[in-house]
C-alpha cells in the first residue's frame, strides 16, 4: 500500500514564528508533490507544487523536497493567525492519481 | 476561470436511497477527479477521468459507487443503496493532464456534504 504520512499535530506556534510541516512518502517513483491548505469546513486550496530536489520559495512559504530520503516539507515564515488550518501533503503515485496524507493541523496564536 | 462547481452543496438522505452528485470542472481541464473526505482524514481517492475515459477506480471503492463523464465535460457520481458509512464530503477536482510525467495541480470544488440517516 503506497502511503503519504504526516504528523497529525496539532502544531502550535506563536505569531511571527516559523512553522515546519513534514511529509514522507513510500513510492520512490513519485515525481510530483503538492501542499494544500484546508480551513475547517472548506475544500483544499493549493499552496505550492514542487517537482525537483531542493527548495522552492513563494512569499512566506518554502517547500523542500528530498527524493532520496522520500521527504517533503513546508516552511511558513512569519506565521499569522490566518495560517491556522490543516495542511495536506499530496504525492502522485507513478501512473495514478494524487494521494493525500491525513494532514497536519497548525494553530498560530497571537 | 469560473472554478470547479459542485452541486448540491449538501444532501441528506435516508439509508437505502440513491443519490447523485454533479461536478462541472474548469473548462480547459481534461482531467476530473473524485475524492471522499471524512472528519480528521485527508481526501481519499475514488476515481478519475481523462476526457470521457475513466482511467482508474480505487480498489476500495464499493460497487455501489459509479461515476460518469459522458461528454468529457461535467461528471456525475452516483451512490446506490446508501449506507451510514457513506456520510462524508465528496470532493471533485480538475486539472490539466500530466506533462512529461509531472502532475498538474488539482483545483477543488467546494464539495458536496452527504449525510445518510
Q: Do A32 and B103 touch (CB under 8 A)?
A: yes
Q: How confident is the model at residue A8 (pLDDT cuts 50, 70, 90)?
A: confident
Check residues A67 and A97 and name the one with the higher pLDDT: A67
CB-nearest to B105 from A46, A99, A103 is A46
Cα B14 versus chain centre, distance: 21
Mean pLDDT to the nearest integer, B16-39: 97
Mean pLDDT to the nearest integer, B108-112: 98
Q: Tens digits of per-residue pLDDT, A15-58?
A: 999 999 999 999 998 999 999 999 999 999 999 999 999 999 99
Q: Which of A43, A45, A96 to mutate to test the interface with B (most CBs of B within 10 A)?
A: A43
Say what the pLDDT of residue B100 is: 84
Q: Tens digits of per-residue pLDDT, B34-60?
A: 999 999 999 999 999 999 999 999 988
- Backbone dihedral angles phi then psi of residue B19, each to the nearest 5 degrees: -135, 150
Q: How confident is the model at residue A1 (pLDDT cuts 50, 70, 90)?
A: low
Q: For the CA atoms of A42, A48, A50, A56, what is the dihedral angle to 10 degrees?
A: -150
- Cα separation, A62 vs A54, whole angstroms: 10
- Cα separation, A34 vs A100, whole angstroms: 9
- Grid coordinates representing B38 are 471524512
- Cα separation, A30 vs A37, whole angstroms: 21
Q: Which chain B positions have a beta carbon within 8 Å of A4's beta carbon?
A: 42
Residue recorded with cell 459542485: B6
Q: Do A98 and B56 touch (CB under 8 A)?
A: no
Q: How confident is the model at residue B111 (pLDDT cuts 50, 70, 90)?
A: very high
Amino acid at each position: 500500500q503506497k502511503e503519504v504520512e504526516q504528523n497529525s499535530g496539532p502544531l502550535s506556534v506563536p505569531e511571527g514564528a516559523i512553522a515546519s510541516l513534514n511529509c514522507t512518502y513510500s513510492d520512490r517513483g513519485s515525481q510530483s508533490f503538492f501542499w494544500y491548505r484546508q480551513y475547517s469546513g472548506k475544500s483544499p486550496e493549493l499552496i505550492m507544487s514542487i517537482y525537483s530536489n531542493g527548495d522552492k520559495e513563494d512569499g512566506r512559504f518554502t517547500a523542500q523536497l528530498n527524493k532520496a530520503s522520500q521527504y517533503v516539507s513546508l516552511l511558513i515564515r512569519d506565521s499569522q493567525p490566518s495560517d491556522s488550518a490543516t495542511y495536506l501533503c499530496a504525492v502522485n503515485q507513478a501512473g495514478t492519481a494524487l494521494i493525500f496524507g491525513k494532514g497536519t493541523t497548525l494553530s498560530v496564536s497571537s | 476561470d469560473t472554478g470547479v462547481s459542485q452541486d448540491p452543496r449538501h444532501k441528506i438522505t435516508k439509508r437505502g436511497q440513491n443519490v447523485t452528485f454533479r461536478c462541472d470542472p474548469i473548462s480547459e481541464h481534461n482531467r476530473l477527479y473524485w475524492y471522499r473526505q471524512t472528519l480528521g482524514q485527508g481526501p481519499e481517492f475514488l476515481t478519475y477521468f481523462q476526457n470521457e475515459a475513466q482511467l482508474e477506480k480505487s480498489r476500495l471503492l464499493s460497487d455501489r459507487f459509479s461515476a460518469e463523464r459522458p461528454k468529457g465535460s461535467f461528471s456525475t457520481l452516483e451512490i446506490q443503496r446508501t449506507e451510514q458509512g457513506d456520510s462524508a464530503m465528496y470532493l471533485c477536482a480538475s486539472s490539466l493532464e500530466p506533462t512529461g510525467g509531472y502532475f498538474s495541480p488539482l483545483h477543488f470544488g467546494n464539495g458536496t456534504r452527504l449525510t445518510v440517516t
